[in-house]
């Protein structure tokens, strides 16, 4: 049995904790970065790759060649998912032998030994034409297969140390990597369940978010992301989402151990330049997408309830001509240059010139900021 010093055990604890903690991350990339960074520290490297090809996740540190990553997908991981031989025949034979022997922790020396030894690795296309040109030929890799959708899929953690080639088959880091494997498998099981929930939420047409009970965002579906991206005051809306979630989450603390947790709800309203938002939240009795206690928030926007100032007030406040004031109101309503031209009976070119002068006089650099500027300036 390999004996580890205090420093190695500390690095092992950090790597194990990261692998077990997909629920602690706000999203897949954040968890991948935590796992990749911890794995690299475990084996004394700086550069790393986390690959979960079945969910199209390839997250890397700085300094990892993207073309080499594409080659790793093409020759190593994609064939496993598809159940077909790799284009590199030697790599295909290596994969078969690796699975038959139950080997998961790899370095240059282990791969060479599985290929037959004596520098056999240097005769593989994958090593010499994919890894070496991308400066990834000196590697540690933990390559596991995990259950998913009725089959198994590959997951890879790789780190690329600088300095001498790591080619000892008795390298102590290989033993540390094998100890991380069970934690990574458990983390992937949780990740798959959480990922399926997130995909389901992304399929909902209504804008919605999930926050934890401390108000921190856990997931935001595509509809809400698009809605907020179009609002210059999106930070105000995001702040209200956090505050609403935290206010409901506080009920858990007050009632814990006193009465069973039940579904609670709350509502907040706020107005921005885009319209009037209504936020309706429910404190759920069971966690969703990994949150330890979940608040589901539905968001609606009534864009028709915003009252823009009259043109006379806009002219006086911003020193605009009557035409510029009218153009400003049309821009605030969200009309394009072509729509403004049609409404005003002018050419699109003239409408564009009016809009450019308007933005300059208002001191803004985007059309989205016009409504907010007019409302605030004349409020």
pLDDT in tens, 167-183: 999 999 999 999 999 99
The answer to which of 116-120, 158-162, 236-240, 287-291 has the lowest mean pLDDT is: 287-291
Q: What pLDDT does residue 264 have?
A: 64
Q: Which residues touch 133 (CB under 8 Å, ≥6 apart)? A: 65, 68
For 121-138, what is the mean pLDDT?
A: 96
pLDDT tops 60 at residue 253: no
Express each pLDDT in 256-297 by its tens digit. 554 544 546 789 998 887 788 999 998 876 665 555 568 889
- Three-state SS for 140-199 is EEEEEEEEECCEEEEEEEEEECCCCCCCCCCCHHHHHHHHHHHHHHHHHHHHHHHHHHHH
Express each pLDDT in 202-226 by its tens digit. 778 889 998 888 888 888 888 898 8
Asked whether the beta carbons of 26 and 215 are under 8 A apart, the reply is no
C-alpha torsion angle, residues 107, 141, 184, 33 (rounded to 10): 140
Exposed/middle/buried for residue 218 (C-beta within 10 Å: 0-12, 13-18, 19+)? buried
For 305-320, what is the mean pLDDT?
A: 84
pLDDT classification of 354: cutoffs 50, 70, 90: very high
Q: What pLDDT does residue 231 have?
A: 84
For 107-127, what is the mean pLDDT?
A: 95
For 134-147, what is the mean pLDDT?
A: 96
101: which DSSP letter? H
pLDDT classification of 134: cutoffs 50, 70, 90: very high
**What domains appear along the chain, each with residue ranges and CATH number?**
6-199 (3.30.450.270), 205-305 (3.30.450.20), 311-377 (1.10.10.10)
24: which DSSP letter? G
The answer to which of 62-66, 97-101, 193-197, 370-374 has the lowest mean pLDDT is: 193-197
| Separation CA 89–CA 57 (nearest Å) | 26
Chain-wide mean pLDDT for the chain?
88
Asked whether the beta carbons of 107 and 166 are under 8 A apart, the reply is yes
pLDDT tops 80 at residue 311: yes
- Cα–Cα separations (whole angstroms), residue 115 to 119, 123, 127, 156: 9, 10, 12, 19
Closest CA relative to residue 233, chosen from 276, 200, 264 = 276
pLDDT classification of 1: cutoffs 50, 70, 90: low
Q: What pLDDT does residue 287 have?
A: 60
pLDDT tops 70 at residue 109: yes
């Amino acid at each position: 049995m390999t004996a580890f010093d205090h420093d190695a055990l500390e690095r092992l604890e950090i790597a194990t904790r990261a692998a077990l903690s997909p629920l602690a991350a706000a999203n897949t990339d954040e968890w991948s970065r935590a796992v990749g960074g911890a794995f690299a520290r475990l084996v004394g490297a700086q550069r790393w790759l986390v690959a979960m090809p079945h969910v199209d996740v390839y997250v890397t540190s700085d300094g990892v060649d993207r073309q080499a990553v594409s080659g790793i997908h093409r020759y190593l991981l994609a064939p496993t998912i598809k159940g077909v031989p790799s284009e590199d025949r030697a790599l295909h034979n290596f994969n078969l032998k690796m699975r038959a022997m139950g080997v998961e922790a790899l370095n240059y020396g282990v791969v060479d030994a599985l290929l037959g030894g004596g520098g056999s690795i240097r005769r593989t296309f994958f090593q010499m034409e994919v890894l070496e040109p991308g400066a990834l030929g000196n590697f540690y890799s933990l390559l596991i297969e995990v259950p998913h959708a009725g089959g198994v899929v590959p997951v890879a953690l790789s780190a690329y140390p600088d300095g001498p080639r790591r080619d000892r088959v008795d390298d102590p880091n290989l033993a540390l990597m094998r100890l991380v494997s069970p934690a990574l498998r458990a983390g992937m099981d949780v990740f798959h369940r959480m990922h399926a929930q997130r995909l389901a939420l992304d399929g909902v047409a209504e804008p919605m978010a999930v926050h934890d009970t401390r108000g921190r965002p856990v997931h935001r579906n595509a509809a809400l992301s698009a809605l907020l991206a179009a609002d210059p005051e999106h930070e105000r809306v995001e702040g209200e989402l956090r505050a609403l979630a935290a206010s409901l989450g506080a009920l858990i603390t007050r009632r814990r151990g006193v009465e069973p947790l039940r579904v609670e709800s709350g509502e907040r309203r706020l107005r921005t330049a885009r319209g009037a938002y209504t936020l309706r939240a429910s404190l759920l009795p069971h966690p969703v997408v990994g949150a330890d206690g979940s608040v589901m928030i539905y968001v609606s926007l009534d864009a028709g309830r915003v009252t823009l100032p009259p043109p006379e007030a806009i002219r006086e406040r911003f020193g605009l001509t009557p035409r510029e004031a009218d153009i400003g109101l049309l821009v605030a309503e969200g009309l394009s240059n072509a729509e403004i031209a049609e409404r005003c009976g002018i050419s699109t070119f003239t409408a564009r010139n009016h809009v450019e002068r308007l933005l300059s006089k208002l001191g803004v650099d985007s059309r989205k900021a016009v409504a907010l500027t007019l409302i605030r300036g004349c409020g």
